[in-house]
Amino acid sequence: MRILFSTDSLARGGKERQMAILAKAIVKGKNEFLFVAKRIDRDSNYFAEYSLSLNLIKTYRGYSEFRKAVSEFRPDLMVSWDAKSSFYGLLIYRRLKFTFINSSIRHGIREWKPDHIFRAVVCHLSPWVMANSQAGLRANFLKEGRSRFVIHNGVERKFSLVHSAQEKEKLRNEIIPGYSEKHPLIFLSVANFVPYKDYFTVFRAFALIKKQINFRYLIVGDGPMREEIVYAIKENGLDDCVSLLGRRHNIVDLMQISDVFIHSSKGEGISNAILEAMQAGLPVIATDVGGVPETVYPPTSRLFPFGDKVVLAGHLSEAFSSPWAGNLNSHGYREHIEKFSVERMVADFHQIIRLTTGLEMTGDPAAGEDGLP
């Protein structure tokens, strides 16, 4: 089977990771595959991590080059992952006679901005739509049905849910010098420094309770708002409590030494960072937005309204009494996070291919073939 993914960018991000996971399953199943991308970050992408060749990519600058790349590949199926290439797909899928799935809905927020309206219109015109959350469909005035699907993101099993106290202590002292002397509760966030991630509410919340609790807040990420982030930390008197770790590749280690994960985004579809935190056995404090309520396991999480520092401060204080500890190894918790496994995501993708194309993709788990990463 010939499958094509189109996208605006191949860099490192949540959408790009999901594309790479599915692409690896497609290639491993001996199907023919191609990325058609507006641009690629050759220094920061997932190709090496998922053993994908850069030869699987064709770049384009505009519609003519896009159409030429698709026409030459002659796909049975095209899946578009951004609004612009979804629009291009709409223009050509009938003439070139391939099945077209629009998978550009990756966030669960509704905003009356030109790019959001454009994406919603293109989705409504598309024959098939695949979102990663129910909230994403709702934000674009759609609902799950015969031609509109939801496939939740899947994350790899990199973590063990149970770690000995000795193992955690060793890791913590390696990453936080002097940890054994103070034993702070460790909070962790993993997100880029961009406005909609809203670190500022977290800083203001910690400022309300910093004299009452012993904590360390680790932040993994970087971005255009770094100067504003540094200033906000100082302004809230958190210099000794917050560590900016930059972009890191040892997220597994950082999650294993942390006690609570914080996610303060303005809008999400399904957050890979939250899923990985749950795989690591971390309780989650997150904004009640988009697909977050679909993602978290209620007995081990707390939600707060976006931008509400008072409610968030209450949840941060509550974390010191570990109210969710007894639920982290429960059968319900394990069953919940299994919904977000790579195996489940790949199997769901195979099922949608069968439904939309009437074809069987090699490496299909339902056919007893191993196409999983």
pLDDT over 70 (residue 368): no
Contact 276, 248 (CB under 8 A): no
- Measured distance CA(156)–CA(153) in Å, rounded: 10
- Tokens at 39, concatenated: 């641009």
Q: How many whole angstroms from its chain centre is CA 280?
A: 15
Q: At 50, which amino acid appears? A: Y
Contact 131, 148 (CB under 8 A): yes
pLDDT at 59: 93
Residue 216 backbone zone (phi > 0: left; psi -120 to 50: alpha; other: beta): beta
pLDDT at 279: 87
pLDDT at 111: 79
Contact 177, 284 (CB under 8 A): no
pLDDT in tens, 186-204: 999 998 888 889 999 999 9
pLDDT in tens, 12-52: 777 888 899 999 999 888 889 999 999 888 777 778 888 88
pLDDT at 179: 73
Least confident of 117-126, 139-148, 306-315, 354-363: 354-363
pLDDT at 325: 67
Contact 37, 57 (CB under 8 A): yes
pLDDT over 70 (residue 209): yes
User: What are the structural domains of the chain?
Assistant: 2-154+341-367 (3.40.50.2000), 165-337 (3.40.50.2000)
- Measured distance CA(326)–CA(65) in Å, rounded: 56
pLDDT at 365: 53
Q: Whose CA is closest to 276, among 188, 186, 196?
A: 188
* Averaged pLDDT score across all residues of the chain: 87
pLDDT over 80 (residue 162): no
Q: Whose CA is closest to 296, among 266, 255, 254, 268?
A: 268
Residue with tokens 């917050």: 242
Mean pLDDT of all residues in 164-192: 80
- Measured distance CA(52)–CA(55) in Å, rounded: 8
- Tokens at 184, concatenated: 């702070």
Q: Select the more confidently predicted residue: 127 or 28.
A: 127
Residue with tokens 């598309």: 126
β pairing state of 2-10 and 242-244: unpaired
Sign of torsion over alpha carbons 82, 85, 91, 95: negative
SS3 category, 124: helix
Whether pTM > 0.95 for this model: the answer is: no
Q: Please, what's the largest Cα pairwise distance for the chain?
A: 69
Res. 69 pLDDT band, cuts 50 70 90: very high
DSSP 341: B
pLDDT in tens, 290-308: 899 999 999 999 999 999 9
